[in-house]
Structure formats: structure tokens, C-alpha cells
Structure 1
Amino acid sequence: MRKEQLFQFVEVIDCGSINKAAEKLYISQPNLSRSIHALEEEMGKQILERNNRGVTLTPTGKLLYYYSKSILEQFKVLERIKELDEDQIYSQLSISVDSIFLRDDLILNFYKRINSAETEIKFLETTAEEVLQNVIDMKSEIGITILNDIQLTIFKKMAEIKDIEIEILGTGPLYVHINENNPLSHKEEIDVKDLLDFPLIHLPYDFFSELNFSLTIDDIPLKQFKTTITMSNYHAIINMINHANAIMLGNKWQIEELKHSHIKSLQFKNCHITKSFVIIKRKRTVLSNAAKIFLDIIYDNYSHM
């Protein structure tokens, strides 16, 4: 049973007669009849009933017609695959992100731009330490994190030892994120001492977050906050800020996304802490097309901030 036989059989049924199908296929009627007869011999059953009005399908013919159409469609898919580049057949995006509240539509924009028959997205939200380790271990092609000056100095040294390339997309001041109805939200800048009685949300601890305890804002150590809450879930953090009057330290790249959740971002008075938007990847490694597209989206959304 050949693909050509199945194709001719389907054409006969679609045209309603052997003569019409032979004209459409530019072959002789006897040759087409022999092809159908050979198919019937291979099936061991009659598949067509011939009459003056053309042809009709036997029960076996109906089943063969259904499967022939399906098989021929699969052949069309195979022909298209032959013309596709590897990236158009299968794409995998593997990114590790230090929980920084990237825009909700980044993955949607990536999906719209990728042109693959099958796409796998591995988007891991974790700590800065694990972001670095995932890139080192090749679990992720790209890592994204936000680090202050002290963290960045050590991060660079660790990355250099492990042959990891670092790109600083931008820098900005430290912010505090509070609910827009918080009585302090009207201020242009805020004194850290005014926040010490509010619960401070802290992302999961790792080596780099532990370094924050040595930081001071206006000579007040961060460890002086009376209540801290360790959380990693984005929506839970938003609820705590909005309904428990909790606060969270952050950066300028979070501001626009948090506005949608009625959260205001304020700078501190007398604070010299700088935050950096850090992108990492392995040195001397060519990124996949999927990773390149995602990085382009990151640049488009964050490089101008």
C-alpha cells in the first residue's frame, strides 16, 4: 500500500467517479482503475461499488477513506517539517529569576514571537543564589536578579570563578512598596524610622539576602524592623501589602507592575543603596533562539527605565 494509491483513492471518492478523478490527476482511466483494483486486492475486500452514476463506498471503503485522509494529512505535516529550521520545530525557554515581579505579559509576548510547532517554557522564580547555580548547572540558559552594591560585588566574584558572564541592564535606588491607602503613601520620600512598626516582607533567605542585614538606611540597620515575614508567593505578598499593611523593599523595575495592584513605591531619605538589574549567562555559549527572543523582550521592557 503506497501513499500514491491512497491519494488516488481519496481523489476518486472526492470527485465521485473514476473518470473525473483520472482527468483531475492527469492519468488514464485504465491506470487509475488498476490502482484501485490493486488496493482492493491488498485489502482483501471490495472498497468501491461502481454504477452508472459513479462510485459509492462499501463499509470497508468508508473506513479506508477516513484513515487515508488522516494519513495523507500527516504526510503534509511531515513535508512542512522538512522545510522548518530546528528552532521552528521545537523551542525551549529556560530562565531562572530572582523574585522581582516581572511584567505579567512577558511570557505572553514571548509566546507570540516564537514560531515553533512545540514550545516548552521553564520559568523558575527562586533566590539569587539559586539563579546563579541554575545557570552554572545548565538548568537555565539565562538568569535574572536584582542586587544591591554589596551583593553585586560578591556575586561578580562568584560568577567569574564559575565562568559566568554578567550584564548590568541598569541601576536605580532602593524603594519601599506600600499600599496606596497607607497614611505614609502621600509622601515624596520616606524616613526609614517611620516604617519600623510595619511588618517587613522578606523574600526567602539565601547567602545574598543574608548580606542585607549589614545594610543601613539613614544609619538605621534593616535588622531593627520589629516584625518580618518571609514569603515567596507573588499573590500572597500583594495581599499582605494591601490587607495587612505590610511593606516590602524593592526596586524601580517593579513599580509599574505593582501599580496595577494598588501599591505605591517610595524612595528613602538619606539612602545611598543602589540596586542593579543583572542578567547572567554562561561564557562562550551560544544562546538558543528562544533565549535571544526573551532577552530582546527584557531589553524592550526594562532597558529604558
Structure 2
Amino acid sequence: MTLQQLRYLIAIANHGSISGAAHSLYVSQSSLSVAVRDIERETGVTIFERSNRGITLTNDGIELLGYARQVVEQADLMAQRYAGPGHGGAQRLAITSQHYAFVVEAFLELAEEYEGDGYNFSLRETRTSEVIEDVRDFRSDLGVLYLSTFNESVIGHALEDANLSFNLLFTAQPHVFISENHPLAQRSLVTIDDLTDYPRYSFEQGSNNSFFYAEEPLAELPHEKRIAVSDRGTLSNLLAHHNGYTISTGVLSSEMYTGIASVPLQTTERMRVGYIVHNERQLSELAERYIEKLSLFVEGYQLAAAAL
């Protein structure tokens, strides 16, 4: 099969019809039908089910489409990387992470200081499963997430299946992030029972919305009031202006110092925050520099927290 055939397959799946894909690609419907038939013959699977209502992917088709997207994405990245004379020196750095402000700040500092002739940087804050998938599929050089005694069995198996390794950055006692005007803000320590009456904020995890994939420790504990968000900005606004809480590392970023307090949570659980890399990939010099920046930011935050 060819890259062009795979692109046809992806377009058909995206449009839900051969006619729609043909119109967007400016090719004939017969060309697309032949491409699908050739791929089905070569792979031995039926990709689409046809009916009066259109076409839908079969289970085999969904799996094959996942591989097709990976192949096409990697081909596009390679084409971009080696676009021609003058582009060979551009360096690429792609990071995928759970929602940690220190990840962003280290990334921004590296981008500001980089003095290469050309570069292509990307940072994606996203769900736990996608952090693993991006590094597994070589879309990202490294990912940042946390392990605990509760989730390490499930996440550890996911990392092993994806041929990824976990590298520790720091270990943190879970802290509660709350408004500085929250009734618990002046406590030196809070308990789980103290939090019972307050809404809990968390990052939504999509179809992998299990306790094991949560970005917040102790997600398995029952809570009657819950708000799920997808970005740190919304979470920061909720924390600063309402009486809810979230549980995290205790590492406050500059954007969170105003209006938000961090109070230690009484628990034996610990968060081991680190970065994941693919075992078959050698990190670039740029990725190594980013890890150094990341470590320095974490060290600085911890020293500031200890001084409070």
C-alpha cells in the first residue's frame, strides 16, 4: 500500500463518505473505491461497512485507521524535517504533558534562549493516555506525568506495553490547592475529612476517565461535588474565586501565587513526577537541555516552598 492510499483512507473516514472525500481531495470516487479495495485485498480485512445511510468503520477498520494515521503523521513530520536546502539545520522539540505549570515555564524559557538557526517547538498539555500515546508513536520526544502507589500498576503496564521508561524528576507530598480566602487556607495541614463538603476540581480524561488515569492523586476517594475541566486557566480561576479544591504536587507556579494557597494534605500517598521516553529513541541535545531546564524549575519551586 502507498502513502497516497492511506491518505485516501483517512479522508474517507473523516468525511464519512467516499463522495465527500472525493470532493475535498479533487479526485474521482472510483479512484478512492479502488484504493480502499486494494488495501482491503492486501490486508485481508474489511475496512468499511456499506449501507443506505453511508459507510462506517468496522472494528478492523478502526484499528487499521489508527496505524494509517501514525504512518502518515510520521511521513509528514519527516517531510517537514527534511523540507529542502536551508531546513536541515532546524531542530525539533515536542513535549506532551499532564497539566503542570512548571512544564510550560521550562518550555518557554528554553524557547526564549534558543539561538539556533531554525527550530520547530511544540508543547501539548493533555490527558494522561495521550501523553503515553504521543511518546509511544514518536509524536513527542518526551512526556511528563506522575506515578503513585495507587496508579503505578496500571500506568506502569501501559508504559511497558508502549516500550517507554519513566525517569523521576521529584517526589512530592500531595497538597491541596484552594483559594487564599478558603476556610481551610490558614491550616498547616488538612485531612480528607476536612474536604468532604467542598467541590473537587479535576482534569477530564475523556474515554479513559478512570481513577488510575486521573492527574490528581486520591481520585478514588468518593466526592459528591465534582467539576472537570480541560485547561489550567479554568482551574486557576475556579480555585481563586470559589471554595473548591484540587490535589496536586504543591508546586505553585507564578500564575498561581496570587489568590491561591497550597496546604499539605495528610496522607501517606506520594506523587512521583517524572518524564517518559521511548526506549528505542535517543534523546536529542535539545531534549536533554529541556530536561535540565525542567529540573532547575522544579528545584527552584521546591526551595521557594521550603522557605515559606
TM range, normalised to the smaller chain? Answer: 0.5 to 0.7
Q: Aligned partners of 2:269 and 2:170: how far apart in 1?
A: 14
Counterpart amino acid of residue 154 in structure 2: I
Confirm or deny that 1:251 pairs with 2:249. yes
Question: Does 1:292 pair with 2:288?
Answer: yes
Counterpart of 1:282 (choices 278, 282, 286) is 278
Cα offset, 1:161, TM superposition: 2.5
CA offset at residue 148 of structure 1? Answer: 2.3
- Shift in Å at residue 260 of structure 1? 2.1
- For residues 128-169 of structure 1, the C-alpha deviation after alignment (integer angstroms, 9 at most, x for no partner) is 111011100111110001232221232222212322121112
Displacement of 1:208? 7.1
Answer yes or no: is the 8 Å Cα contact 1:238–1:261 preserved in 2: no
For 2:263, the equivalent position in structure 1 comes to 266
Instruction: Using structure 2 for the length normalisation, give the TM-score.
Output: 0.63
Q: Name the counterpart of 1:153.
A: 153
Corresponding residue for residue 221 of structure 2 = 222
> In the alignment, what sits opposite 1:25?
none
Pair 1:112-2:112 in alignment: yes
Q: Larger deviation: 152-161 or 122-131?
A: 152-161
Over the matched positions of the two proteins, sequence identity in percent amounts to 18
Q: Does the 8 A contact of 2:155 with 2:213 survive in 1?
A: no
Q: Provide the rounded CA distance (Å) in 2 between the counterparts of 1:138 and 1:152.
A: 23
Matches within 5 A, 1:65-76: none
Taking structure 1 as reference, are residues 245 and 91 closer, same or farther at Cα in structure 2, changes over 3 Å only? Answer: same
CA distance, structure 1, for counterparts of residue 141 and residue 294 of structure 2: 14
**SS of match in other structure, 2:182:** coil
Change (3 A) 1:261 1:152: farther
How many Å separate the matches in 2 of 1:283 and 1:301? Answer: 25
TM-score, normalising length: structure 1:
0.63
Bigger Rg, structure 1 or 2:
1
More strand by share: 1
Distance 2:248 2:235 in 1: 12
Partner of 2:184: 184
When the two chains are superposed, the root-mean-square deviation of aligned CA atoms in Å is 2.9
User: What whole-Å deviation, never above 9, does each CA across 1:7-65 have from its counterpart, x for those lacking one?
Assistant: xxxxxxxxxxxxxxxxxxxxxxxxxxxxxxxxxxxxxxxxxxxxxxxxxxxxxxxxxxx
Q: Is the 8 A contact 2:131 2:143 kept in 1?
A: yes
Alpha-carbon displacement from aligned partner over 1:144-198 (angstroms, at most 9, x marks no partner): 0123222123222221232212111221211110011112111000122222221
Q: Is the 8 A contact 2:217 2:248 kept in 1?
A: no
How far the C-alpha of 1:256 sits from its partner, in A, is 4.3
In 2, Cα distance between the equivalents of 1:180 and 1:230? 21
Conservation of the 8 A alpha-carbon contact between 2:154 and 2:212: no
Matched residues, number: 216
User: Retained in 1: the 8 A contact 2:200–2:246?
Assistant: yes
Contact 1:94 1:141 in 2 (8 A): yes
5+ residue gaps, structure 1, are 1-81
1:103 & 1:284 partners in 2: Cα distance?
Answer: 24
